[in-house]
Structure 1
Amino acid sequence: MWGSSLSTVVRPAARHQAYLGRRAYIATKPFQGAAAALALRKPIPAQEPEPELPLTEVDGRRVAVQWSSDLQSRFHHIWLRDHCRCSECFHPITKQRMLDTFSIPADIQPRAVDATGEGLVIQWASPHEHTSLYPWSWLKNNSYDPQQFAPKPDWQKPIIWDNRTIRTRTPTVEYYDVMENDDALYDWLAKIKKWGVCFVRGVPADLNSTEALARRISFIRETQYGKMWSFTSDLAHGDTAYTNIALPAHTDNTYFTDPAGLQIFHLLEHTGGTGGETLLVDGLHVAREVRRRYPRSFELLSQVPIPCHAAGDEDTFYRPDPNSGYPVLSVDASTGEVWHVRWNNNDRSVVNAVHPDLMEAWYQAIRDWNRCLTEPSAEYWVKLQPRTVVVIDNQRVMHGRAEFTGRRQLCGAYMGKDDFMSRLRVLWEKGEAGALDVHERRNVWSPGL
């Protein structure tokens, strides 16, 4: 329903209607000569009906757009002026703001509001006269009152999996496809984003080929372990990964303020022994189970920070900033969905910042988390083989390892989440816009700007 405080109805622009009338006059103007007479015998094709434009209302603070009888959006005047995308206010090449937001009067008012075929046109009266245009689709996708969510690419819709799901639909791609073809590369990155994990078959069993595969995604993130790392059970670093003991499901880098986004593993050899199976668990599945079965524990896991450290090497001592750490689960404030899982009980530091009234409840919360994490239905065990790489979203999927004997050597790398997502978005843009160059396929109204 229309807001009672919105009073002025603004109909489709008068100049737009005048233009339509003028076009109708030209279409019916008498023809001259024989050619005209011949043309008159031809049927005149029916014109496409003009699309119905939204109605708008204006009050002292907002412009309301009536999309349909039961859907309306409201936009504050200051928000509309701040989001002008003309070339004076928003650079068409760099896609950066040029308007000084703080020069906009807090009580700015439109002088005129017109609904046109191109979009909503607003003429501003102060502090300097200015005209802004907002495409209808852009306004609808960016509605915040009420909040509307723009359509998402398929890769932004996660597949939350358990043991049964991933065994029957294991996400897999071929090495030579992703190395030679950008469409295949896009398919690979989309699977990583949707599933949080993807296997790559046919990779030559050496460090250089694994590095080349990683660089198809983005930059390699250098840490205390180097850029590309190759390790076995020799304790070359003070980390239990450099032993042969079993490792429970965990995410890496909980001791970093910004943990790695992706992690790549490639088993180069395993000789003279057994064991070493890889464990994968979808953190989103575990979070969903905890939320369903233990809502109070879910609340604590998403609120109470956990301090962590990496201190096994004498020349490094990592702790996150702030030292109190971060919660196990990060929740998107706008959707309520879990977007980041951070869990490694082995790297947990002294817990001394939890309120005393919550300490026992917090221990129960991590017990409930561990119960859901270690259920057989959540665990996916796989025996890695040379020539198969596994890529893991380190901020979602937890990994572990069974105890092993013999010589087992892996190589791998870390990659930044933002670098990975940038590459995926660019490949998606290319696929959506075909052969258009970057400035044509990404304009000032593109999603996310």
Structure 2
Amino acid sequence: MDLTDSSEETRALAIYWGRTKPMLSLSLLSTTAWITPTASSTTTLTPFFKRALAMSTMTTASQPAIVDAVAAGKYVEVHFDDGAAYRFHSLWLRDACRDEEHVVGGAGERYLTATPVGPSGVSAENVRAASAEVGANGGLHVTWNDASLGPHEMAADPPRVSRFRTDFLRMYAEVVGEKLAAGARSSSAVHEDLAFLTPYSGFPSARAPKAEEMRLWKAADFAVPTFDFHEVLDPASDANLNCIESVLYHGGAMIEGCEEPGEVALRRLADDAFGGLQKDPTRDIANWRIVRKEGATSVSYDHLKRLNQHTDSSIPPHGVPALCLLMHYEEGTGTNTFTDGFAVARQLEAEDPEGYRLLATYGYDAERDFVASRVDSPQEYNRGLIVSTQPKLLQLDDTGALQRIQYNEVFRTPLTLPFDVFPKWYKAFNRFVELVHSAEYERPVPMHKGKFFLMNNWRVLHGRAGGLASSDRVLVGGTITREAIYSQARRLLRERRPGGFADVSQEEELDDEEEEERLRSRPRPRSRLRLRLRPI
């Protein structure tokens, strides 16, 4: 594999989705760490992430090139043609190298014979750069000193040379390097195809969605895109990716045209289009099933009663509420209600800034017994789980922007707020709930057999109108994690980039001529979602 391949599309692909698959910009994005409030120690990741995305879209002409490299023992100095220069720790380079001698291309795993820790034969404290030079195709080649290599019991000797792509080094330089010279800077703008995913990437320092990345709505102007069930499942169609973007932008999307609704159809849609349903720890299957039950003790299973607006997994069994909820009618009809919680929060902040701050500062007490609360369910539960928590109803990012709403009244327990905080907190809380259920914000939506609704569970609250469901109503659904949605969107974007591949093994099957022809002939996808919306 040629790590210095410099074709425009291949460079872009390699930086973000690329041949050196374990780029940190991808590895970190698949972590689950981000959702908790930020830690100041991780804030440097955000500019790195932006840099990685920007580098992925630069043309060959605009990519920085290495013009000089100097080995200085514990350090290596790298000079770029835009005037910038950085000093890297030699040990960092030895540890971070992702060439084919250090990382298994298909699996993305580090070779234990190459890592500078453990019984590899590399002595981390003795690592020095013996020489550094610019390769024929512009990459950096570093040769390591003999003193850093010793006896070992591994199957192969550690590599003596590490090779680095120019764009790889430049991507990391601003975070891990010491800047030696000022110079022209490349654009740090996030590629617009990827921008809509940034708030959901998984970093502790991740920002909330920007105003332009959402369309907030009230009941009167509730309009979300509608997609065809089969088109969303069609790998050749853009409907799957457009559907995910719609959910994050509008708060939800309708999916119609399923001829055989039920658990099988739900799981197929979730697995193939959205990364799979979140596993419930108390039952064997992931989806839930709500069937009318006479004399039900839980409001969820009494179709004649109103079910107040709430977010699902408000007491998450896995620590973080699911990003999306996918539900549909297997049988019968009914009316579900939806509210854009972010739109409500915006009005509350305008009316009562102090109350808004209190809802974002103090959590409310809640508890759920995951078996007892489903006593009316037709499903079987094989283990118990009781979770107590104190989530903030409004959850903000580092800048104070709203990132997530987490609320379900049925599981709320006695509040443990300070004496002087309680009256002001409760006033704001009461107003928020009033607005959520007001005719101005709550939108009733008739539902029928085969109709799916996929919603952003961090933003949209949902419920059920009382007395409007048919006696044969069967509701089947489940939650989908942030990781699943984000991973699916990444995969779809990768496949649709010019020269993109579903995975590394596919890429390696093509020889250079076939790949070159594919890159030339493949049209670029539309960079933004454009859909006609129709009121529901």
Provide the TM-score with structure 2 as the length reference: 0.58
Closer/same/farther in 2, CA of residues 137 and 49 from structure 1, 3 Å limit: closer
Q: Is contact 1:163–1:377 with CA below 8 Å preserved after alignment?
A: no
Q: Distance in 1 between matches of 2:444 and 2:503?
A: 42
The correspondence of residues 394-413 of structure 1 with structure 2, limited to 5 A, is 394-405=457-468, 407-408=470-471, 409-413=473-477
Offset, 1:441: 6.7
Q: Which residue is equivalent to 1:38? A: none
Task: Please point out which of 153, 163, 174 is paired with 2:194.
Answer: 153
Closer/same/farther in 2, CA of residues 130 and 330 from structure 1, 3 Å limit: farther
Task: Please point out which of 302, 306, 312 is paired with 1:252.
Answer: 312
Task: Please point out which of 179, 201, 206 is paired with 2:233.
Answer: 179
**Is residue 239 of structure 1 aligned with residue 303 of structure 2?**
no
Q: Which residue is equivalent to 2:408? A: 344
Task: Please point out which of 236, 250, 270 is paired with 1:214.
Answer: 270
Q: Is contact 2:335–2:468 with CA below 8 Å preserved after alignment?
A: no
Offset, 1:171: 1.6
Offset, 1:105: 4.4
Q: Is contact 2:331–2:475 with CA below 8 Å preserved after alignment?
A: no
Q: Deviations over 1:178-234 (max 9, x none)?
A: 234442333333433444421012222632544443343344445457544442442
Q: Which residue is equivalent to 1:280? A: 338
Q: Deviations over 1:64-123 (max 9, x none)?
A: 766746x78776655444321123433222113342558774796645555565344444
In structure 1, list runs of 5 or more residues that go unmatched: 1-47, 444-449
Q: Which amino acid aligns with 1:419?
A: A
Q: Which amino acid aligns with 1:279?
A: T
Offset, 1:266: 1.9
The correspondence of residues 27-426 of structure 1 with structure 2, limited to 5 A, is 53=65, 68=82, 78-98=91-111, 99-100=115-116, 105=124, 110-114=129-133, 117-125=137-145, 127-128=148-149, 130-142=160-172, 143-144=174-175, 151=191, 153=194, 155-156=196-197, 159-163=213-217, 167=221, 170-183=224-237, 184-204=239-259, 206-207=261-262, 208-217=264-273, 218-223=275-280, 227-234=286-293, 238-243=297-302, 244-258=304-318, 259-270=321-332, 277-286=335-344, 297=355, 300-311=358-369, 312-313=373-374, 318-320=385-387, 323-331=388-396, 338-352=402-416, 354=417, 358-364=421-427, 366-367=429-430, 369-370=432-433, 373-374=436-437, 378-405=441-468, 407-408=470-471, 409-417=473-481, 418-426=483-491
Q: Distance in 1 between matches of 2:427 and 2:86?
A: 44
Closer/same/farther in 2, CA of residues 78 and 167 from structure 1, 3 Å limit: farther
Q: Is contact 2:218–2:340 with CA below 8 Å preserved after alignment?
A: no
Q: Distance in 1 between matches of 2:503 and 2:276?
A: 21
Q: Distance in 2 between matches of 1:290 and 1:96?
A: 49
Q: Which amino acid aligns with 1:277?
A: T
Offset, 1:240: 1.7
Offset, 1:402: 1.9
Q: Is contact 1:228–1:411 with CA below 8 Å preserved after alignment?
A: no
Q: Deviations over 1:390-445 (max 9, x none)?
A: 112333322122222452513222143133433332232222265746215779xx
Provide the TM-score with structure 1 as the length reference: 0.67
Offset, 1:305: 4.0
Offset, 1:331: 4.6
Q: Distance in 2 between matches of 1:198 and 1:150?
A: 25
Q: Distance in 1 between matches of 2:129 and 2:300?
A: 63
Closer/same/farther in 2, CA of residues 293 and 54 from structure 1, 3 Å limit: farther
Closer/same/farther in 2, CA of residues 282 and 310 from structure 1, 3 Å limit: same
Pairs aligned (count): 387
Larger radius of gyration, structure 1 or 2? Answer: 1
SS at match of 1:309: strand
Q: Which amino acid aligns with 1:278?
A: N
Closer/same/farther in 2, CA of residues 144 and 229 from structure 1, 3 Å limit: same
Q: Deviations over 1:30-51 (max 9, x none)?
A: xxxxxxxxxxxxxxxxxx9998
Q: Distance in 1 between matches of 2:455 and 2:221?
A: 16
Q: Distance in 1 between matches of 2:464 and 2:341?
A: 16
Q: Distance in 1 between matches of 2:125 and 2:357?
A: 38
Closer/same/farther in 2, CA of residues 52 and 240 from structure 1, 3 Å limit: closer
Closer/same/farther in 2, CA of residues 174 and 317 from structure 1, 3 Å limit: same
Q: Which amino acid aligns with 1:239?
A: S
Q: Is contact 2:491–2:502 with CA below 8 Å preserved after alignment?
A: no
Task: Please point out which of 482, 494, 502 is paired with 1:429.
Answer: 494
Q: Distance in 1 between matches of 2:75 and 2:307?
A: 58
Q: Distance in 2 between matches of 1:240 and 1:74?
A: 63
Closer/same/farther in 2, CA of residues 51 and 187 from structure 1, 3 Å limit: closer
SS at match of 2:367: coil
Q: Is contact 1:61–1:107 with CA below 8 Å preserved after alignment?
A: no
Q: Distance in 1 between matches of 2:354 and 2:403?
A: 19
Offset, 1:270: 4.8
Identity %: 18
Closer/same/farther in 2, CA of residues 305 and 442 from structure 1, 3 Å limit: farther
CA RMSD, 1 decimal: 4.5
Closer/same/farther in 2, CA of residues 153 and 313 from structure 1, 3 Å limit: closer
